Each structure stands twice: as structure tokens, then as C-alpha cells.
Copies of this chain bind each other. A is one copy, B any other.
Amino acid sequence: MIRIYDDQELTIEEILARDPAPAREAEALVAEIIADVRRRGDEALFDYCRRFDHNRLEDLRVSGEEIEEALRAAEPDLLESLELAAANIRNFHKRQLRQGFVIAEEAGKIMGQRVLPLERVGIYVPGGTAAYPSTVLMNAIPAALAGVERIVMASPASAEGRLNPAVLAAAKVAGVTDIYKIGGAQAVAALAYGTESVSRVDKIVGPGNLFVATAKRQVFGVVDIDMIAGPSEILAISDGTMEARILAADLLSQAEHDKNAAAVLITTSPGQAREVQAELERQIPLLPRAGICREAIDKNGKIILTDTVARAVEIANRIAPEHLELCLDDAFAWLPQIKHAGSVFLGKNAPEALGDYLGGPNHTLPTGGTARFSSPLSVDDFIKKSSFIYYSRDALADVEKNIRLLARAEGLEAHGQSVAARFDRIRDLRKQVRS
């Protein structure tokens, strides 16, 4: 049963118990898999598919025909829902598109910043018994909007060598350009280093199990990666006016993700706290994933009582939750006070599930308190910036003295010399103070 605590009874760290140290047990195995894929390429990939996915593939790549087949096989209602979600996600993320700038204000000086898409991006999508079409949309649509040329998806196939039709349909809708039937650390290795059939990418994004996360961490630097997500979290704030049945359902939508998921309610109403507690007990047994919910709620579920909403908001800022539901009639009034949260769900009709699937904002959000310094996945994750500068000879002459002084202060005389060389002044600088 979920426990109810008084304000101050728990420290901030205890409210959302987080383990900052990543699990290390897969390091050696993953390093071996990566080395093997680098060495043997496709041959290694086929071997791992047999060993881990129990299939015998003839081609690692999903054919155009398989995609068409998936589109025909997908329920029309589901396809329509994917298209609605994609349209909303596109509409939100296109507002994130940025322009470069140029500064041309002073004679002889031009400088600026260009915004350029990454060329090739890899998206990992978990497979096996589960299927996550929403993951495909949330990762591929911002990449496509950014202008990424090659959007490569990797996901493990079933024993029959197939990917889930809804996942393939989502890939088609989202603008994925290449799809491979590869999973686990071997997929990350193939995306990072390339093989005969997989062309290497510049960045790998998407969720995954311990092996995928460990592999991403190991190839980081060779390619860029998105954040390594920790267990998912929800923090709901109520002033007692939201029905307990609804609050309980929202907490459970988080809890069903996995047994380490965290669901916390902060409420100003002791009566509501007890009702939510009872509702959770009533609703858990009605769910297909009752076992997971039970464990998550018992282990990481908490209800905290505070005197005021202001105090609840203060706690929320210190926790910096991934998902923050402000289950209040005046939710907008509190938004300016929220300093740290991945995504804020305002009012009583914005359940987290709305954001998970089709509201428009991204569902890839900073976990574990990293909302203090990290952001939701966005178009920004698929672009890079490059600066440029031009000076005329006269403009450079004007600042020669300043550059020489600054260079000398840092003991870097050759920096000053490179400017002086433009004005025929290569000097013997050996008498300068060494550093």
C-alpha cells in the first residue's frame, strides 16, 4: 500500500529515491560485443540476431515491401491515431526550428552562427514482446524537422524475423529513411561504427535496456548520444479538489512502466490522501500489469501532505521531476513558479498519458532530477551550430595591439605573432617571459 507522509518527514532525497550511479554489471559483455561488431561487421550482427533474438535473418534491412505490408496490416483506427499524434508532434516541434544569424554592424567585420542539421542519426527502438510506436514518432519527427538526411532506426525482430507493424507504420509516418532488424548493444555498435550493411551515424538516440544504455555510454564520443534515461517519474500536486479516482489512475499510468518507476502525490488534503490510497488498492488489481504497479507503488509510491500549494511547489522545484501534474483549477497561475520540471501538465484534464502519446510536446524527458540542467528531446538535439568570422585588414590592424596584449598575458606569444605576421612584423620573441 502507498504510504502517506507529513511534510518534512522525508528529505528531498528520500521523496524520490534515486540511484545516481549507473549499473556497471554489463560493461565487460557490452565492450566485447562492440569489439566483435567492429571486427566482424555484418557476420557478427547475424550471429547476435540468432543468439539473442532467436531468428535467422537473410537481410538485416527492412524492405520497402515489408513496410507496405505493415501499413496494410495495421488497424485503420490505430494508423489514424498515429497520424494524429504525428501531426501534433510535428506542429509542436516545428516551433523549435532556429535560424542562424549574421552580425554586420561595423566596417570590415562580419561574423555569425550557422545552424546545420546532423547528417545521419540512429534511433534505437526496443522490440521483442513490446512495441513502442510512440518512441519512433517522438525521436524521428524532430530529426526529420531538423533536416537530418539519414534517419536510421534499429529494433530487434521477432523469432519470425519481423518487426511490429505499428512500429513500422510509425517509422513510415515519421520519416525514418532506413530500418534495421538489430537490437541490443550490437545495434548501438553497428550504428556507431558502421558495418557492410549499416552506415554509421553521428548521434544515437532512443530508450533501451541496460545493454543498450551501457553500449550508448561506451560509444559516446565516437558519436553523440541523447541522455541515458533513468526510471520514469511523476509528481502530481493537488489542493484536494481533484477526484481521488483520477489521481490514482494517473499515478498508476506511471507505475505500470516498470517496477522502479516512481509515483508521488503531494496534496494539501489529508482526506484526499486516504482516498487516493484506497483507490490505488481498488484499481491496481484491475490492470493487466498489476504486478509491476504493485511493486512500483509499494516501493517508490508516496503521498506527502503539505499545508499549502506553495509549499508543494517548493518541494517540486527541489525534486525537479520528469513529469509534473498541477492538478489544480488555477494551474496556470503556478506555472511561473515552476523552475525545474521536464514537462508540466496543467489542470485536471492533462494526464501524463496525453503527453506520452499525442499532445505534441516530446515524451523523452530528463529523469532523476536532471531537469535542473537538461531539456526535453527537441529539434535542438538534431542540429549543431558553427560560427564564422571575417575581418578586413584594417579591422584586424585596429585590434592587433589588444590581441598581442591578451596573448602575452596568457604566455602564448605565437598567437600575437600570427597577427603581427599580417603586418610584416615577425619578431624574435625569445626574450619574452616564458610560461
The answer on a CB contact under 8 Å between B357 and A403 is yes
Instruction: Give A345's nearest chain B residue, CB to CB.
Output: B389
The answer on a CB contact under 8 Å between B391 and A349 is yes
Contact of A354 among B166, B412, B419 (CB under 8 A): B419
Which listed segment binds B: A7-15, A56-64, A178-186, A253-261? A253-261
**Tally of this chain's copies:** 2
Instruction: Give A384's nearest chain B residue, CB to CB.
Output: B375
The answer on a CB contact under 8 Å between B418 and A131 is no
Contact of A415 among B118, B243, B290, B353 (CB under 8 A): B353
Contact of A343 among B288, B388, B410 (CB under 8 A): B388
The answer on a CB contact under 8 Å between B349 and A388 is no
The answer on a CB contact under 8 Å between A384 and B373 is yes
* Given A131-B409, A411-B288, also A111-B361 (CB < 8 A): yes
A103 to B299, CA, bound (A): 38
The answer on a CB contact under 8 Å between B407 and A353 is yes
Contact of A389 among B223, B253, B343, B422 (CB under 8 A): B343
* Size class of the contact patch on chain A: 35 or more
A413 to B350, CA, bound (A): 17
Of A77, A96, A285, A415, the most chain B CB neighbours within 10 A belong to A415
Which listed segment binds B: A154-162, A264-272, A334-342? A334-342
The answer on a CB contact under 8 Å between B346 and A389 is yes
Of A131, A378, A391, A435, the most chain B CB neighbours within 10 A belong to A391
A121 to chain B, nearest CB (A): 9
Contacts of A341 in B (CB 8 A): 386
Which listed segment binds B: A40-48, A305-313, A394-402? A394-402
The answer on a CB contact under 8 Å between A339 and B119 is yes
Asked whether any CB of chain B lies closer than 8 Å to the CB of A35, the reply is no
Asked whether any CB of chain B lies closer than 8 Å to the CB of A355, the reply is yes
The answer on a CB contact under 8 Å between A356 and B409 is no
The answer on a CB contact under 8 Å between A84 and B387 is no
Contacts of A389 in B (CB 8 A): 343-346, 350, 354-355, 359-361
Going nearest first, the 8 A-B pairs with the smallest beta carbon separation are: A249-B421, A361-B387, A81-B402, A375-B385, A346-B390, A353-B415, A253-B418, A224-B373
Given contact pairs A354-B419, A362-B387, a sample of 7 additional A-B residue pairs in the complex whose CB atoms are under 8 Å apart: A249-B421, A252-B417, A289-B412, A344-B389, A349-B392, A353-B418, A380-B385
Query: What are 18 contact pairs spanning A and B, CB under 8 A?
Result: A80-B402, A81-B403, A85-B402, A95-B101, A98-B98, A111-B359, A129-B435, A131-B409, A224-B373, A257-B412, A286-B426, A288-B433, A289-B434, A349-B392, A354-B389, A354-B403, A358-B402, A359-B389
